[in-house]
Amino acid sequence: MVNKWVISDTHFGHSNIIKFTNATGRAFRGSFIRRKEDGGFEEVNFRDIKHHDEHIVEMWNSVIKPGDKVYHLGDFGDISYAKRLHGKIRLILGNHDDQMDKQEMVDSFDKILVSRRFKSDFAAPTIFSHFPLHPGNNGNAARLFNVHGHIHEKEINDPWYLNVCVEQTNMQPLSWEELAQFIKQRTK
């Protein structure tokens, strides 16, 4: 069975991504949480960008099978990582993706999109985009649930938005089933 997944803002190879800080001065992507052998949890700091990238590859490939569909909502990063990741990746372009070689993009991704609308997969009409879309800018009179990336550790105080940047998903893609539950709960 082919499963579907969504993730955003991996920023492979972007060395500064693990240095950026939030309003309190804490690096918002400087670490990850892992389960310890005793069942507890611990925070692990990334040593460098290679450690960061390898962790995301490991988390990705631990859940995604080679035939699965993955919607990556932009800011992929170093395109060479695409060959190491399981699944057929559908890239929704982000603001950093214009730095990639166009032919390499075509060769590395299953599809390249600006956005993607879903009318019946979820409890509400849904649009995937890199940037959060203002309700008046989505070209539709009816409100769409917006699954997006771009804003990293931040959230929009509106139940019709879901940020799927890796900071929000513990560095792992979100399954279609989990996404459907979020949308159902938020749009009641």
pLDDT in tens, 55-87: 999 999 999 999 999 999 999 999 999 999 999
In 3-state terms, the chain is what percent helix, strand and coil (to 5)?
A: 25, 25, 50
Could you tell me the CATH number of the domain that includes residue 105? 3.60.21.10
Strand order, beta sheet including 69-72: 111-113, 88-92, 69-72, 4-7, 174-175
How much is the pLDDT for 21?
85
Number of domains in the chain: 1
Residue 53 vs residues 5, 15, 76, 186: alpha-carbon distances, Å: 19, 10, 11, 31
Are 147 and 72 in contact, with CB atoms under 8 Å apart?
A: no
Model confidence at 145: pLDDT above 60: yes
Model confidence at 135: pLDDT above 70: no
Domain span including residue 124: 4-186
State the pTM of this model: 0.92
Average pLDDT value for residue range 127-144: 75
Q: List all residues 6 or more positions away from 56 whose beta carbon is below 8 Å from its beta carbon.
A: 10, 12, 166, 171
Average pLDDT value for residue range 110-120: 94
How much is the pLDDT for 100?
83
Model confidence at 174: pLDDT above 90: yes
Q: Ranked by mean pLDDT, which of 13-27, 32-46, 174-188 comes out on top?
A: 174-188
Angle at 98 between CA 92 and CA 102, to 5 degrees: 85
Q: Which residues face 31 on adjacent strands?
A: 45
